[in-house]
Amino acid sequence: MFQKISLFSLYKKVIKNYWDQNQFVLFRKPYERKVFFYSHYNSKGKIFFLIQDFDHNCTIKIVPKKVYYADIQSPSSVKETYKDNYFLLTYSSEYKNLIQKAVEEIRKGHFKKVVLSRSIKISFHNFYFKKTFQKLIFSYPNALISLWYNVHHGFWIGCSPELLMKSHKNKFKTVPLAGTVWDQKKWTKKEIEEHKIVIKYITHLLKFYKGSILLEKTKTVEMGRLKHLETPIFFSFLEEPDYYEILDRLHPTPSICGFPKKESLDFIQKYEGYKRNFYTGYIGPVNKENMELYLNLRCARIKEDKKEITLYAGSGITMDSNIDQEYIETEKKVKNILSQLIFK
């Protein structure tokens, strides 16, 4: 089922499947030294790559006949020089107004947290997929790096730092990530409370099941120039559960939606003003009952036919949010991936 090939052969398979309009995915798990390639063959295999949109309206399964993988070269062996991208991001008064409205709703007691996002479109002439994918791998070793293609949805590329769920038999792991600072800023009450909301939601959900829970100490994780709070959570079930049922209950978590879920989701759908599509959905490999799924963050949709890239970023809004800081946070997150895109 698994076959090792050269990186050159791997990229040739990518090109062939694209020309054949066959859906495929190229990905590297965090801290690993292998790039995997799945191209769709049929719908009966137990090994596949799962892609789910935010609204749970579209599910894509890339089911390969054979899984190909290649070892990653060390950065020093990739003799490429890259230019930094300098794009002026257009100012959005609408997004600032949306943050203001959310803070007012929170202060009225309608919900405790809501994650609001926006999309930014940029035009391009020629885009280097291969070089961008390589650069993401070397820039973000602690993220899931993915490039997938579907004829109806185009290309999506991303570098997600957040593990939604990893399961093996009766063992479950999730690593919620919420709260963001940059430069030399210290953690404030706002980020700490924002993070605690996510932890509370997940631990409360797991209390419905028989087993034992373990929360590791909250720590700081770096993603480029940004810092986030993360807390690994482990759960051992007495009996192997239905992980799809847990997945449906878990997603969307307060790190990409809000809390309480229904009220924050209603606010997003009513006021955010655009469709997130696969941004803040989840993606990852599934092998029978074993899943390793990541939230689809720090991602971009690339439309080759229109020569257009759409970038996405969001921020968690609470009672203590500073509107200007939340706005800057989304700009920093967009630049997290925009800085890695390579154009001719």
- Taking only the tens place, the pLDDT of each residue in 216-248 is 999 999 998 899 999 999 999 999 999 999 999
Helices 93-107 and 323-338, interaxial angle, to 10°?
A: 130
Residue with tokens 């909250």: 218
Tokens 């947290």 belong to 113
Nearest-angstrom CA–CA distance, 21 and 152: 10
| CA 247 to chain CA mean position, Å | 15
Is residue 145 a contact partner of residue 137, using CB atoms and an 8 Å limit?
yes
Q: How far apart are CA 232 and CA 164, in angstroms?
A: 10
What's the burial of 303, exposed, middle or buried (CB within 10 Å: 0-12/13-18/19+)?
middle
**What's the pTM?**
0.95
pLDDT in tens, 198-211: 999 999 999 999 99
Do strands 144-150 and 154-160 pair parallel, antiparallel, or not at all (unpaired)?
antiparallel
Half-sphere exposure of 210 (CA within 13 A, CB side): 3
The neighbour count for residue 261, using CB atoms within 10 Å, is 16
Q: How many CA atoms, within 13 angstroms, populate the side-chain half-sphere of residue 100?
A: 7
Comparing C-alpha atoms, which of 176, 198, 172 is closest to residue 289? 172
What's the one-letter identity of residue 196? K
Helix residue ranges, H only, the chain: 7-19, 93-107, 129-139, 189-206, 243-250, 261-271, 323-338
- What does the pLDDT profile of the chain (344 residues) look like in tens digits? 899 999 999 999 999 999 999 999 999 999 999 999 999 997 788 999 999 999 999 999 999 999 999 998 766 544 444 455 556 577 789 999 999 999 999 999 999 999 999 999 999 888 999 999 999 999 999 999 999 999 999 999 999 999 999 999 999 999 999 999 998 889 999 999 999 999 999 999 999 999 999 999 999 999 988 999 999 999 999 999 999 999 999 999 999 999 999 999 999 999 999 999 999 999 999 998 799 999 999 999 999 888 999 999 999 999 999 999 999 999 999 998 998 999 87
194, amino acid identity: E
d(CA 253, CA 312): 18
Within 8 A by CB and 6+ apart from 275, the residues are 55
